[in-house]
Amino acid sequence: MGKKIYIAHTGGTIGMKRTPDGYMPSPGYLAEQMALMPELKRDLMPSFDIREYDPLIDSSNMSPENWLKIARDIAENYDRYDGFVVLHGTDTMAYTASALPFMLRGLDKPVILTGGQIPLCEIRNDSRENLITAMLIAANYNIPEVCLFFGNRLLRGNRSVKVDANSFEAFDSPNLPPLGVTGIGIDINWDLVLPRPKIRTDDISVHMMNESRVAALRLFPGISEEVVKNILAPPIRGLVLGTYGVGNGPGDNPKLMAALKTASDRGVVIVNCTQCLRGRVRMGAYAAGTALGRAGVISGFDMTTEAALAKMFYLFSQNLPADEIREKMQQSLRGELTPPQASVAH
- Closest to 256 measured CA to CA, from 276, 270, 277: 270
Q: Do 48 and 136 fall into the same domain? A: yes
Q: Do 110 and 244 fall into the same domain? A: no
Among this protein's residues, is 90 annotated catalytic? yes
Beta bridge mates, 38: none
Instruction: Indicate if the alpha-carbon torsion angle 149, 150, 153, 158 is positive or negative.
Output: negative
- Over the stretch 88-133, which tens digit does the pLDDT of each residue have? 999 999 999 999 999 999 999 999 999 999 999 999 999 999 999 9
Q: Do 292 and 152 fall into the same domain? A: no
Q: Is the pLDDT of residue 238 over 80?
A: yes
Task: Tally the domains of the chain.
Answer: 2
**C-alpha separations of 88 from 55, 93, 96, 133, 300 in Å:** 13, 6, 9, 15, 27
Please give the full DSSP string across 39-68, using - where no structure is assigned. GGGSTTSPEEEEEE-SS---GGG--HHHHH
- Residue 345 within a domain: no
Q: What are phi and psi of 260, to 5 degrees?
A: -65, -45
User: From the candidates 10, 90, 133, 304, which is the catalytic residue?
Assistant: 90
Q: Do 94 and 140 fall into the same domain? A: yes
- Over the stretch 195-227, which tens digit does the pLDDT of each residue have? 998 766 567 999 988 777 999 999 999 999 999
Give pLDDT, residue 199.
Answer: 63
Give pLDDT, residue 174.
Answer: 96
The vertex-14 CA angle with 59 and 25, nearest 5°, equals: 65
Among this protein's residues, is 13 annotated catalytic? yes
- Residue 176 within a domain: yes
**Mean pLDDT, the chain, integer:** 95
Give pLDDT, residue 346.
Answer: 44
Q: Is the pLDDT of residue 33 over 80?
A: yes
pTM for this one?
Answer: 0.95
Give pLDDT, residue 198.
Answer: 77
Annotated binding-site positions for substrate: 59, 90-91
Burial class (CB in 10 A: 0-12, 13-18, 19+), 342: exposed
Domain around 323: 214-329
Q: Do 129 and 241 fall into the same domain? A: no
- Over the stretch 268-280, which tens digit does the pLDDT of each residue have? 999 999 999 999 9
- Residue 335 within a domain: no
Residue 42 one-letter amino acid: R
